[in-house]
């Protein structure tokens, strides 16, 4: 029986690339989404990967959604926490709602998905959790105190949970993407985007499949000795 992988935010952008990469590896993939049902259905028709709608920031919805995936696809062996939103603004203009919603989904979603799946991975003595952080969680970014804090929290969450899972054969790692040519980045004003690209040594935006290849490695048997690690895929934008 093939491993079962769940990719949150898995029907578009980076998530779509990850879903396809894991399917190509022979895994049974379930793609979560929260918003656009038409896009999700088009994704399923195009790829054959089933989609599951639930809000990763809603604890009860995650528990129910993962239980449905278990019943329809199988026990969940791999989780890729990719779902995320932005609500950008400088601090003195940022509302509590903008702060809380980003934290609830981007960071809270990692907790909720782990609560729903980590116990089963421990019992079966095998699991892979890959959390998608961000270069802006490592280096910070003007106008993104909420997003940077949530993504930075993901990197700490990864290291702590990795210590809990290690003796059970469950690895927990993170990817820190730079700026990738997705709808989220396309929403950045052109003059701002030009300045961002000028600071990327390779001189371009990244591609979703480049992030997906990093995720795919973490999900293999070859990565058994890799846990608590963050892989930066950012074209050299942030080095440390």
Question: Which residues, 6+ apart, have CB-to-CB distance to 151 below 8 Å?
Answer: 84, 106, 107, 133, 134, 136, 137, 138, 176
What is residue 132's predicted lDDT score, i.e. its pLDDT? 98
Cα dihedral across residues 69, 122, 137, 134: positive or negative: negative
What is residue 58's predicted lDDT score, i.e. its pLDDT? 98
- Homologous superfamily (CATH) of 4-233 is NAD(P)-binding Rossmann-like Domain (3.40.50.720)
Indicate which residue of 52, 147, 179, 240 is catalytic: 147
What is residue 231's predicted lDDT score, i.e. its pLDDT? 97
Question: Strand pairing partners for 154?
Answer: none
- pLDDT single digits (tens) 116-160: 999 999 999 999 999 999 998 998 989 999 999 999 999 999 999
Domain-wise residue ranges, the chain = 4-233
Alpha carbons 94 and 137: distance in angstroms, whole number? 18
What is residue 184's predicted lDDT score, i.e. its pLDDT? 74
What is residue 1's predicted lDDT score, i.e. its pLDDT? 58
Mean pLDDT, consecutive 10-residue segments, the chain of 240 residues? 93 97 98 95 98 98 98 98 95 97 98 98 98 93 95 97 98 96 82 90 95 98 97 92
Asked about 147 being catalytic, the answer comes back as yes
């Amino acid at each position: 029986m093939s491993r079962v992988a769940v990719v949150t935010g898995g029907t578009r952008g980076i998530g779509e690339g990850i879903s396809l990469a894991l399917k190509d590896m022979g895994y049974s993939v379930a793609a979560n989404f929260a918003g656009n049902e038409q896009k999700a259905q088009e994704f399923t028709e195009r790829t054959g990967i089933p989609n599951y709608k639930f809000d990763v920031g809603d604890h009860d919805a995650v528990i129910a959604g993962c239980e449905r995936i278990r019943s329809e696809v199988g026990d969940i062996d791999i989780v890729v926490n990719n779902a995320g939103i932005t609500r950008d603004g400088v601090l003195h203009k940022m509302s509590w709602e903008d702060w809380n919603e980003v934290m609830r989904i981007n960071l809270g979603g990692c907790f909720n998905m782990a609560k729903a799946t980590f116990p089963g991975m421990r019992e079966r003595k095998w699991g892979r959790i890959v959390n998608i952080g961000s270069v802006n969680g490592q280096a910070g970014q003007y106008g993104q105190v909420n997003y940077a804090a949530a993504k930075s929290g993901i990197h700490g969450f990864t290291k702590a949970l990795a210590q809990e899972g290690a003796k059970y054969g469950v690895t927990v790692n993170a990817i820190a993407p730079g700026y990738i040519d997705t709808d989220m980045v396309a929403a950045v004003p052109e003059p701002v985007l030009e300045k961002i690209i000028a600071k990327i040594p390779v001189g371009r935006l990244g591609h979703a499949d480049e992030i997906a290849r990093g995720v795919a490695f973490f999900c293999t048997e070859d990565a058994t000795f890799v846990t608590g690690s963050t892989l930066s895929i950012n074209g050299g934008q942030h080095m440390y």
